Amino acid sequence: MLNSKRLFSLFVLLACVGLNSQAELAELQDAEMAFHVARMSHPEMTAETNTPLYTSNNLARNNQTSAALSGAPALGPLSNTSQPSSSGITMDIDLQLHIDEIRWVDVDGAGINGTQGGITLKGISVGHLDDMNNPQPAPIRGITIDVDGNQGLRMGINQIGDTQGNGIDVNIDSIQF
């Protein structure tokens, strides 16, 4: 009985916190975003101002100006501690998916005689589907995601499918209008 009271109290507390919480996203331009994103120590950064040399404007001044225009408090730069370089992440995925039905209805009357139009996709399957009675996951190996301060976001895939020539199969049983 005590556990259920605690659980109920916790649920009520979380519901109240969720209802009273709010957040606002501030729009930043690319140059302002680069100033606030964690970065490695690069030779193109000046030690005095901690701003990149490749920008023509002082990013801190731009940030203060945009914050003053939006009425939001200015964001400060991240600490100047040097961070070790990262090698990104590598993932291996076994993909198998089945969706019974996806239905989209156009409610503005674009169908025949002004009625609603729609499209329905039934029996969507993704994976290794040589035997539809026994579908298997399709392997995707060596998905790499890395962020470089000079080159930006880099993504790559080493192998899609297995070594016997089987890729990723997509099957849709029916499309209805």
Q: Could you state, in order of their start, the residue ranges of all structural domains in the chain?
A: 2-70, 89-176
What pTM was computed for the model? 0.41
For β-strands 89-95 and 138-148, DSSP reports them as antiparallel
Q: What is the pLDDT of residue 177?
A: 82
CA atoms within 13 A on the CB side of 120: 7
Q: What is the pLDDT of residue 130?
A: 81
Which segments of the chain have a pLDDT < 50? Answer: 1, 38-85
Q: What is the pLDDT of residue 128?
A: 84
Q: Among 91, 42, 20, 32, which residue's Cα sits nearest to residue 64?
A: 32
Q: Exposed/middle/buried for 154, CB within 10 Å: 0-12, 13-18, 19+? A: exposed
* 114-134 pLDDT, tens digit each: 677 788 999 988 888 888 788
